[in-house]
């Protein structure tokens, strides 16, 4: 594997991790909202 390829792989892994963190945070907020809505129903 060339250094360029290694760099590209690391960049992709980093961006995937960031997106995953954002998605997980959004899901936490969503489930919190759903719970509140269900409880007040």
Which residues of this protein are in contact with other proteins, per CB under 8 A?
A: 5, 8-9, 12-13, 15-16, 19, 30, 33-34, 36-38, 40-41
Q: Which is nearer to other proteins, 8 or 28 (CB)?
A: 8
| Cα–Cα distance measured from residue 19 to residue 26, given in angstroms and rounded to the nearest whole number | 10
Q: Closest separation between CB of residue 3 and other proteins, Å?
A: 15
| Joined tokens for residue 29 | 């907020």
| Cα–Cα distance measured from residue 41 to residue 12, given in angstroms and rounded to the nearest whole number | 43
Q: Closest separation between CB of residue 22 and other proteins, Å?
A: 10
């Amino acid at each position: 594997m060339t250094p360029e390829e290694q760099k590209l792989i690391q960049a992709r892994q980093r961006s995937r991790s960031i997106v995953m963190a954002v998605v997980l945070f959004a899901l936490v907020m969503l489930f919190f909202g759903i719970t509140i809505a269900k409880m007040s129903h």
